[in-house]
Structure formats: C-alpha cells, structure tokens
Chains A and B, each alone.
Chain A
C-alpha cells in the first residue's frame, strides 16, 4: 500500500500544476467576463451571458474533447495559423478547457459578490468625494471579496477534482496513474483509498486556507478581544485550580 501511495504521489505535481494554472488564468478570464456582464453594453453583456450559459450547461469532459479531439478536424487551418503545436498537446488542451470552464462559474461568483455591496455604502463613498478607483479599492472590492470567498473556495475544490478529467486525454496526474495501476493490478479498492486520500488532503488544505483568509478578512464579525481583568484575590484564592 505504501508503494502504491508513493507511485500515486508522482502524479501530484501535475495535478497541482493544472489546478494552480487553471484557477489563476480562470480568475483573469472571469474578471473580464464579469466586467463585460456589468458593463451595460448589450453586445458585451450578451456575449458574457451566452458564454456562461454554454460552459455551465455542458459537461467539462465534452469541452475537453471538443478542444482536444474536435479541433483536430481543422488541423490544416490551425497549422497555417501556427497554432497546431498548442492544440496538439494534451496538457495545453486540458488547461485551456479547465480555464474556460472555471471562468464561467467564477464570473458568476464575482458578479454575485459585486452585487452584494450595499448601494448605500457606494453612495456614501461618492458623497465623500472618492474617485471611482478609490471607491473600488477601499469599499467595493473588500466587501465583494469577503462575500464571494466561500463560493470561490468551493470552486477551487471543484477544480482540484476536475483536473482528474485530464487523465482521460492521457495526462498522468494522480487519477491517471490510479487508472493505470488499477488496470495493471486490479486492486481497485486499495488504489482508490490511496488516491482518494491524496485528493482529500489537498482539498482539506484548500478549505483551511480559504477559512483562514475569510477569518482574516472579517475582523468586524468576530467578538472583540476581552480585556484581561485583574481577578479579585479573594475569589482567585478560593478556587482550587
């Protein structure tokens, strides 16, 4: 079992790399989508709506296949554009699909966060004469981030799990190695326990990190620290402990 575990751990760097890159790039795309959605310009708004509708309404695996296998149909055109080198590699295709997919979900999380900022606070900031930039930096972004954080944490966990789909297009991350080991040894349960433990630990770390960040960002929701009081000597001496 220890040997299995070590073999599976060899896939961990790839799992982490895929998760980290897709979450980071996805956040950038999501911010662009959320900006489009809230821009008030119909063309941009509808593009973002359609994007979110399509990417949330279809399974991620279909998106991966569409990019990895599907674009092969346009190979001559892609070769002419010098893009074939990119779409030929399963790693880049998986990363692209994961990024585009998470961007759709995260853009809705960002939008929800921004919309949760109370109007009154924005108006108050304007009344104080804050410039739009300062308004965003001091008022809107801190409140929106705090609101969006729990949902965003869930999305990161979903992405950790989603990287397992890259194994279907031959990427040897943790699930890919697990599948290879299962078909070689048929010890499905043992391998499942080891691989499952890796993902659980990973997700536990993510959950804790998000919780710590949430705690840091919401000092106003915590109880004020209780000032240390000097105990009455008469009472404290009466207590045995």
Chain B
C-alpha cells in the first residue's frame, strides 16, 4: 500500500484520524501557549516591578524551567499530578487511584515551560518601550490601568510578536512529547497507525509533513501579524 492511499480520507484510510490528531496537537499546544501567556505576563510584571524576593523567585523560575528537559516536566505533571489527586481523593472519601488526563497534564506542562520563555519575551518587549511615552501618559493624568491598556499593552504586544512566534514553535514541538502520557495527538496517532499497519515510515513521514505544514503556516501568520502591528512604525 502506498503512503498516499494509506493516508486517504475515506473509511479505509488513516487520513481523517491523522487530521483529527493534528487538531488535538494544535489544541494542546494552544492551551499550553495561552496558559503560558498568562504566566509569562504575570512573571514579567514581577520581574519588572516586584520586590527583591519576588524578583529572585521569578528569576529562579525562568532559570530552572529553561534548564530542565521538557520531558521531565511533563512526567512531573502527569505522574505527580495523579499522585496528588489520588492523595486528595483519599482524604475526601474512599480514594483509590485518580489519574490526570494527558491533555490537562500536557497543557499545564507546556504552559509552565512556555511561561518561562514568554516572561523573558514580555520583559524584553517592555524595555523596548519609549520611556517618554509612559511619562507623557502619566503627565496627562492617566491612571495605571488606563496607561496599561492604552499605552503599554499594545506596544509590548507589538514588540513581543517575533519572540512569541518562536515560543509558539517551541510549544508546538513540545506537544509531541505529550504523546508519552497516552494522549492521542499527532505523534501518538502515527504510532498507533504504524503499529496496526506495520508501515511506520509512512506514518511518521505523514506526521512530519503535518508538523511541517503547521509550523510553516504559523510562522507565516506571525510574520503577517508582525508586519500588521509594525505598520505605524518607521523602519530604520
């Protein structure tokens, strides 16, 4: 059977299952990335304006999370999360083993990891802001929330787009590791297909092509977003 007929979208092909799995990959990566944006934003805020202790904690968070393999962090959330939930369940009632879903553990792990990277992206983007604009906003009497909404957030996002694009690519590739939890995303689905048809090369090749398509389209999207966001900025 050729790779193409193996991947057909009909009832006897694996195409549809692979596309659905690609959707799962996209959703686990997006959930993780969005969680990471929230964490990254908060951590960047702490780094920029927190007290000495909070700043040290934020720095430790980024250093540690960037120095430990992603796979180990996914194991921590998957196995550690199950152990934690089981012990809580043991306190509340009859107990027994409570497992964390692969999706939740994976998205949380990706969120925590990409949060570490995103905090650096946001911090860098904030330092690229023109000090004068913040002073101007203060001098016209804007309160902090308004200043954040009108002056800081739009410009930080603008400068952060290229960095966020890189972090998104990382999140997407990390999502392949979530397959170790048994979540049927693209790589896991390929392994299932490879196992039942004994054509592993065709399946992993198809997975590679789908990943390549996703990364290509998303890097194009980020480039478009960047040129749109930078439309009012003079290039030197």
Q: CB within 8 Å of B: which residues of A?
A: 53-54, 57-63, 65-66, 69-74, 157, 161-165, 167-168, 175, 178-179, 182-183, 186-189, 192, 195-196, 199-200, 203-204
Say yes or no: B176 contacts A179, CB within 8 Å.
Answer: no
Q: Does B128 lie at the interface of the complex (its beta carbon under 8 Å from any beta carbon of A)?
A: no
Residues of chain A within 8 A (CB-CB) of B203 are 70
Determine if B212 and A168 form an interchain contact, defined as CB atoms under 8 angstroms apart. no
Q: Is the CB of A189 within 8 A of B76?
A: yes
Alpha-carbon separation in the docked complex, A132 to B183 (Å):
55
Q: Is B121 engaged at the interface, CB distance under 8 Å to the other chain? A: no
Interface locus among B47-55, B142-150, B194-202: B194-202
CB-contacts of B169-203 with A (<8 A): 172-177, 179-180, 187, 190-191, 194, 198-203
**Docked-complex contact B75 and A161, CB < 8 angstroms:** no
Q: Does B140 contact A (CB under 8 A)?
A: no
Interface of B is mostly: helix
Q: Which residues does chain B contribute within 8 Å of A66, judged by CB atoms?
A: 201, 204-205, 208
A164 touches B79 (CB 8 A): no
Q: A62, B80: Cβ atoms under 8 Å?
A: no
Q: A69-B194, A165-B177 are in contact. List 11 more A-B contacts (CB 8 A).
A: A57-B211, A57-B212, A58-B212, A59-B172, A65-B190, A70-B194, A72-B200, A73-B198, A186-B79, A196-B64, A203-B67
**Nearest-Cβ distance from residue A45 to partner chain B, whole angstroms:** 19
Chain B: number of interface residues, binned into ranges: 35 or more
Instruction: Contacts A60-B173, A167-B71 given; indicate if A189 touches B80 (C-beta within 8 A).
Output: yes
**Bound CA span A71–B191, Å:** 14
Q: Select which of B80, B83, B176, B194 is within 8 A of A61 by beta carbon.
A: B176
User: Cβ of A196 and Cβ of B215 under 8 Å apart?
Assistant: no
Q: Chain B 201-236, CB within 8 Å of chain A: the 1/0 string?
A: 111110110011001100000000000000000000
| Inter-subunit contact A195/B212 (CB<8 Å) | no
A199, B201: Cβ atoms under 8 Å?
A: no
- Show the binding face of B for A, using Cβ within 8 Å: 63-64, 66-73, 75-76, 79-80, 83, 172-177, 179-180, 187, 190-191, 194, 198-205, 207-208, 211-212, 215-216
Does A182 lie within 8 Å of B177, measured CB to CB?
no
Among the interface residues B175, B176, B212, which one has the most CB atoms of the partner chain A within 10 A? B176
Whether the pair B204, A196 counts as a contact (CB closer than 8 A) is: no
Q: Is the CB of A70 within 8 A of B67?
A: no
Tell whether A182 pairs with B204 under 8 Å between CB atoms, given A59-B176, A61-B176, A196-B64: no
| Choice from A57, A161, A187, A188 contacting B69 with Cβ under 8 Å | A161
Contacting B191 at CB < 8 Å: which of A65, A157, A167, A188? Answer: A65
**What is the bound-complex CA distance between A162 and B96, given in angstroms?**
35
CA distance A183 to B191 in the complex (A): 22
Least CB separation from A161: chain B residue: B69
Distance (whole angstroms) from the CB of B29 to the closest CB of chain A: 11
Taking the closest CB of chain A, its distance from the CB of B120, in whole angstroms, is: 12
Interface pair B68/A199, CB less than 8 Å apart: yes
Given contacts A59-B176, A62-B211, A182-B75, contact A161 B201 (CB under 8 A): no
Closest chain A residue to B177, Cβ basis: A61
Is the pair A175, B69 in contact by a Cβ cutoff of 8 Å?
Answer: yes
Nearest CB of A to B177, in Å: 6
CB contacts (< 8 Å) of A163 on chain B: these are: 69
User: Contacts A65-B204, A70-B204, A71-B201 known; A199 to B72 CB distance under 8 Å?
Assistant: yes
**Which single residue of chain A is at the shortest CB-CB distance from B97?**
A186
Which of A70, A162, A192 touches B72 (beta carbons < 8 Å)? A192
Residues of B within 8 A of A178 (CB): 72, 75
